[in-house]
Amino acid sequence: MVNYTVADLLPKIQANIDSLEYDTAYAFCKRALEIDNGHAEILELTGQVEVELGDLYSAREHFAKAIEIQPDTGHEKYMCLGQLSGELEAIQCFQKGIDLMEKEKKQHDSNQEDIAILDHKIAAAYCSMTEIYLTDCCFEPDAEQKCEQYLQIAQSADPSNPEVYQMLASVRLSQVRNDEAREALQHSLQLWINKDPGDPSIPIYDTRLALVKLLLELQLYAEAFSVLERLQQENDQSVDLWYLWGWSYYCLGEEEQLPEEERKQQWEDARDCLETSVKLYDITGADDEAMLQHAKELIQSINAVVPPSAPEDEADQDDDGDHDLEIDSDQDDAMEM
């Protein structure tokens, strides 16, 4: 057996994390902890790897121990523990992380790039804190005040961050200030929708899925479809993607002013997408039972109005358009996985 030191193992762990080889990274983490189970950096890296591997309980323990050993340096472990915590405990973690980042900014006062990165993280932390007061801590007496306060600071820290305005829209929706929510979402979209794929300012995939839900709630269907098209280009094997696409078509079909034939076409497209989401759900082993149930309920509702064609008839039907071809192709790809 090779006699590694912790110094030897650190770059190996990081290299495997960077290449997404989490099982190998975890093996090196365990080896490093056998050598020194009180090494704060190793504990933090182990926690990061465990998050990727789905062992959230162990990740919490390792982040907490890293904080216990080095409470006043390194903001990332506080951000990570905050994401794994709930209610006021999470708020405390995020706030401590923000305090450390503010100190780091003073050390980088001549490096605008480093300051911009920290400001982006600070804004993201305040958005996370806002979401907690919007959900888990919504019954706290100062919840609405906290949401307003945190969003104001987040916007000041990083005014070009689309996630800030997406969170602002969520808050305005909860206050039934829908016009302001629409304005916030449209501003959020303008900050990234025309940028090239891979641009670092584009929100992560899951954040954009959440954006689609907000857009649908505000009946911004064109914007929802624009986001969904970009998401599909990045990953067309997402259960959530096809569920939301189906839901978008279904909602569009419910518009009162829509002609009957067009309504049926929207619901046929919705059924195609929803059936794809159900098939992918079974293939991928997803675990959102509520979403699966809703997809099946929507399919049943559509079938009651627009009965599905018999299999032998479908093969003889002409293609109705490019989108139908795209949906059929994606269904085939999903079943071949």
Q: Which CATH number covers residue 247?
A: 1.25.40
126, 147 contact by CB (below 8 A): no
The answer to whether residue 31 sits within a structural domain is: no
Mean pLDDT score of the chain: 87
Which tens digit of pLDDT belongs to each residue from 54-108?
Answer: 899 999 999 999 999 999 989 999 999 999 998 899 999 999 999 999 998 888 7
The answer to whether residue 184 sits within a structural domain is: no
Q: Which residues span the domain enclosing 310?
A: 206-337
The answer to whether residue 288 sits within a structural domain is: yes
211, 163 contact by CB (below 8 A): no
- Of the chain, the percentage scoring pLDDT greater than 90 comes to 64
As for how many domains the chain has, the answer is 1
Q: How far apart are CA 306 and CA 313, in angstroms?
A: 15
The answer to whether residue 248 sits within a structural domain is: yes
Of 236, 323, 212, 217, which is closest to residue 272 (Cα–Cα)? Answer: 323
Q: Provide the token pair at 269.
A: 């497209």
In this predicted structure, what is the pLDDT of residue 106?
Answer: 85
Which tens digit of pLDDT belongs to each residue from 163-172?
Answer: 999 999 999 9
Q: How far apart are CA 257 and CA 267, in angstroms?
A: 15
The answer to whether residue 279 sits within a structural domain is: yes
Of 27, 79, 78, 75, which is closest to residue 50 (Cα–Cα)? Answer: 27
pLDDT band at 297 (very low <50, low <70, confident <90, very high): very high
Q: What is the mean pLDDT of residues 248-253?
A: 90
Burial of 224 (0-12, 13-18, 19+ CB in 10 A): buried
- The packing angle between helices 143-157 and 112-134, to 10°, is 160
Which tens digit of pLDDT belongs to each residue from 137-156?
Answer: 989 899 999 999 999 999 99
The single-letter DSSP state of residue 196 is P
Q: What is the mean pLDDT of residues 182-196?
A: 93
Instruction: Kindly report the pTM of this predicted structure.
Output: 0.80
The answer to whether residue 277 sits within a structural domain is: yes
The answer to whether residue 29 sits within a structural domain is: no
Of 254, 207, 245, which is closest to residue 323 (Cα–Cα)? Answer: 245
Reply yes or no on whether the pLDDT at 335 is more than 60. no
